[in-house]
Structure 1
Amino acid sequence: MDQQQRWTAVDEYLNDALVGEDAVLRAAHEASAAAGLPEIAVAPNQGKLLHLIALTMGARRILEVGTLGGYSAIWLGRALPEDGRLISLELDPAHAAVARANLHEAGLEKVAEVRTGRAADSLAELIDDAEKPFDLIFIDADKAGYPEYFTLALELTRPGSVIIADNVVRRGRVVDADDTDPNVVGVRRMHELIAAEPRVTATAVQTVGVKGHDGFTLIRVLG
């Protein structure tokens, strides 16, 4: 068993033992695959981590940057109370259509909304509309846009809000300051902005699993 096979086997064991991915979540994966969406949704144990963070915070308002097929949105939406709200931003209208259908099948259409367009434009619109602050913001979109997404998302928070940015390790390439890949450059620049921002405190964690070697950054907005 090579390293990746072992990581995948451990994820499968943990998912079976603790996560409890149900038929609705599996169907969302299957519908996304059938529609030709890329296989880049969060893993089940990562989805449940988002769910548990939202529950632990008592989040009532959640913003997601990057919907894809709505798999992570289902995990997040399930953590909301009946009068909660989830806004998810997706560039591709075809992806958004799949996500809306999956959210409907999950019974979340009353709390979850998918908006299409460039994420930076949608974030700016939310700011211009004086949208109420979000308790939790999950960023999982094109990594080149992460610096802008973080900067704009911060304007949609309150003291105590949490921002989570996914896929920030890039299989370890994040350590290479000479790497010109826009995804790596974007992640590194976001971390520079976070480090220089007095309104937040943050950490980042490496992960291994079915998705390979990656990680996430956890940011808390200070009071």
Structure 2
Amino acid sequence: MLNTIWKDVDDYLVDKLIPSDQILEGVLQTNKEAGIPEIDVSPTQGKLLYLLAKIKGAKNILEIGTLGGYSSIWLARALPETGKVYTLEVEPQYAKIAKQNIQNAGCASKVEVIVGKALDTLPTLKDNDLLFDLIFIDADKPNNPHYLKWALELANNGALIIGDNVIRNGEVIDKKSEDERVQGVRQFMDLLEKEPRLESTAIQTVGSKGYDGFVISFVK
């Protein structure tokens, strides 16, 4: 019953606050037809990322985990004309579809899709002296601790670091969990707790994506 209410409320919020967008709806349909897992952020979450990027005045954004490019497009739309999203995707087929979706959305000039394991491609960003105003971590959860360490390497002072899927239907509190995704999130949280360069909070969310949440950190 609760899950039905969460979905219905999300639908209400989208209807009231997020205008119908054929491009973004088409991205989700294209991804579904291509067999890409339906684990994108929800429209309300995508708009939250968009607003956070706008509030921050972000010019360079790093996204770890592209999937089909849905969140990449939300982030790109928040950028000024000279802004750029660098988004990392391990699966070549997903990256190919994401590039086409991004092109169809008119965001190709603002988004660079980098294909390969993120832990292999992140050092190349460092080598090119790229620094970021907002970093969105939404990839394989066991590597979240590593992604956070790289995010700190690549963040400007005052940057936002946002991590998705950190509640995992409440399983994050189970220290004995045998799910490596849960343990990856727990290690991520341990690093946030001890990291003096970050001020962090977490927001539990419910909605069309079930019961989960975001971590938001500010780089001092």
**Could you say which TM-score interval applies, normalised by the shorter chain?**
over 0.9
Matched AA of 1:15: V
2:189 matches 1:197: no
| 1:60-79 matches, cutoff 5 A | 60-79=59-78
In the other structure, the counterpart of 2:174 is 176
Decide which of 207, 210, 215 is 2:213's aligned counterpart: 215
Matched AA of 2:70: Y
Q: Secondary structure of 1:130's match?
A: coil
- The whole-number CA distance in structure 1 between the counterparts of 2:187 and 2:20 is 35
2:122 matches 1:123: yes
Name the TM-score, length of structure 2 as normaliser: 0.98
Task: Please provide the CA RMSD for this pair.
Answer: 0.7
Q: Secondary structure of 2:68's match?
A: coil
Name the TM-score, length of structure 1 as normaliser: 0.97
Deviations 1:21-50 (A, max 9, x none): 400000100110111100000000000000
- The whole-number CA distance in structure 2 between the counterparts of 1:95 and 1:66 is 10
User: Following TM superposition, where does structure 1 have runs of at least 4 consecutive aligned residues deviating by more than 4 angstroms?
Assistant: none
Question: In 2, are the aligned partners of 1:21 and 1:44 still within 8 Å (CA)?
Answer: no
2:107 matches 1:108: yes
Identity of aligned residues (%): 49
In the other structure, the counterpart of 2:134 is 136
Quote how far apart the aligned CAs of 1:129 are. 2.5
Question: In 2, are the aligned partners of 1:168 and 1:174 still within 8 Å (CA)?
Answer: yes
Which runs of no fewer than 5 residues in structure 1 stay unpaired? none
In the other structure, the counterpart of 2:80 is 81
2:54 matches 1:55: yes
Decide which of 148, 151, 159 is 1:150's aligned counterpart: 148
Q: Secondary structure of 1:110's match?
A: helix
- The whole-number CA distance in structure 2 between the counterparts of 1:209 and 1:124 is 36
- The whole-number CA distance in structure 2 between the counterparts of 1:158 and 1:91 is 25
Q: How many residues align?
A: 220
